[in-house]
Amino acid sequence: MKESIRQRLERMSDRFEEVGRLLATAEVSGSSQQFRDLSMEYARLQPLAERYRGYHHLERDLAAARELLTDADAGMRSLGAEEVERMQHEMAAAEADLRQLLLPADPRDGRNIFLEIRAGTGGDEAAIFAGDLLRMYARFAESKGLGIEVLSESPGEHGGYREIICRIVGSRAFSRLKFESGVHRVQRVPATEAQGRIHTSACTVAILPELDEVESVEINPAELRIDTYRSSGAGGQHVNKTDSAVRITHLPSGIVVECQDERSQHKNRSRAMSLLKAKLLAAEQERQQSAQAQSRRLQVGTGDRSERIRTYNFPQGRVTDHRINLTLYKLAAVMDGQLDELLDALQQEHQAELLAEEA
């Protein structure tokens, strides 16, 4: 193990012990905020401290096994050689685990998200594919116990959506779906294609983490234009009587958001403001990270929409993620929301890149 990594592990293990002692004091236990903060830090450091303690045990076991190599008895030397080899493999695995635990956590991982899907090139077929992508993400969310709610939608003329914006709520929603931003391409024979020719269409997907109020970006009310209108969605006669839908335009940036899901204009306005703040923060982060992102294949956290990230080829039943050169012949399962194999591979690649940067 590199000395720099060992020193970091020692510091974090010492901090874990220190936090444990602080939590046991009357002063901390009497302060709800300090106790909460230290408890969260303790929980974050505990896996690393315990794994590092186990690594120390392995080092001692390896030293004991090496002593057997000098034993006068040939059988003991043979046993020692086997033990040394086994312990070295275990230590290599343990060190890899520790290096992964040292990776900085993305503070956005636990956030709810806004999911935006927009039809791109391909006309009606692109809109239909946008509907397919929405069903894919909705089924994935349902399988993970995540809630999904539609904030605004613009239906396509022949099905699907020209644009749809949803909010996905639940534990670590951003962590699971943060690599989905980008251009998704579909290759298939449209239902309206009489000659049976394969068409290529595309949709843009954007994943934006929802902000906490404390991290909310500052917005000057004078820079906003807020319009109300009648909702085009379901709602019976109610929608014909009340201008409950809200559209907010941020004049300096030109960003427009809208929400028409709730019957309450106040709730729609609140949701639209939350989405606007998320978009403004994402735009600022993209500007700050653009130089660094040019050298990274995953475009993590930049919201880069220009890159084709994935192709869904229906005639061949395959899906290919171009960022990691992964092809799965499981298209039906993927479109049914079974995304774990793709998402896990992207997460592993991202961690590998971070580890390479730490090396």
**pLDDT reading at 238 higher than 80:** no
Q: Return the pLDDT at 212.
A: 66
What is the C-alpha separation between 198 and 120, in angstroms, rounded? 17
HSE at residue 125, side-chain half, CA atoms within 13 A, is 18
In this predicted structure, which of 73-82, 176-185, 213-222 has the lowest mean pLDDT?
Answer: 213-222
Q: Return the pLDDT at 294.
A: 43
Banded pLDDT at 296 (limits 50, 70, 90):
very low
Residues 219-228, mean pLDDT to the nearest whole number: 89
What is the C-alpha separation between 359 and 340, in angstroms, rounded? 28
**pLDDT reading at 45 higher than 80:** yes
The token pair that represents 19 in the structure block: 């936090």
Banded pLDDT at 359 (limits 50, 70, 90):
low
In this predicted structure, which of 48-57, 137-146, 179-188, 282-291 has the lowest mean pLDDT?
Answer: 282-291
Q: Return the pLDDT at 295.
A: 34
Banded pLDDT at 289 (limits 50, 70, 90):
low
Specify whether the CB–CB gap between 111 and 192 falls below 8 A.
no
**pLDDT reading at 226 higher than 80:** yes
What is the C-alpha separation between 312 and 290, in angstroms, rounded? 28
What is the C-alpha separation between 99 and 6, in angstroms, rounded? 10
- The model's pTM: 0.65
CATH among 3.30.70.1660, 3.30.559.10, 3.40.190.10, 3.40.50.10860 for 113-353: 3.30.70.1660
Question: In this structure, which amino acid lies at residue 86?
Answer: R
Question: In this structure, which amino acid lies at residue 335?
Answer: M
Banded pLDDT at 107 (limits 50, 70, 90):
confident
Banded pLDDT at 85 (limits 50, 70, 90):
very high
Percentage above 90 pLDDT, the chain: 42
Q: Which of 68-72, 118-122, 318-322 shows the highest mean pLDDT?
A: 318-322
Q: Return the pLDDT at 306.
A: 44
The token pair that represents 31 in the structure block: 């302060």
In this predicted structure, which of 13-17, 203-207, 353-357 has the lowest mean pLDDT?
Answer: 353-357
In this predicted structure, which of 60-74, 186-200, 294-308, 313-327 has the lowest mean pLDDT?
Answer: 294-308
What is the C-alpha separation between 202 and 184, in angstroms, rounded? 6
Higher pLDDT: 240 or 62? It is 62
Specify whether the CB–CB gap between 132 and 142 falls below 8 A.
no
Minimal CA–CA distance to 117: which of 163, 169, 185? Answer: 163
Provide the mean pLDDT of the chain. Answer: 84
Higher pLDDT: 197 or 240? It is 197
In this predicted structure, which of 21-30, 80-89, 299-308, 327-336 has the lowest mean pLDDT?
Answer: 299-308
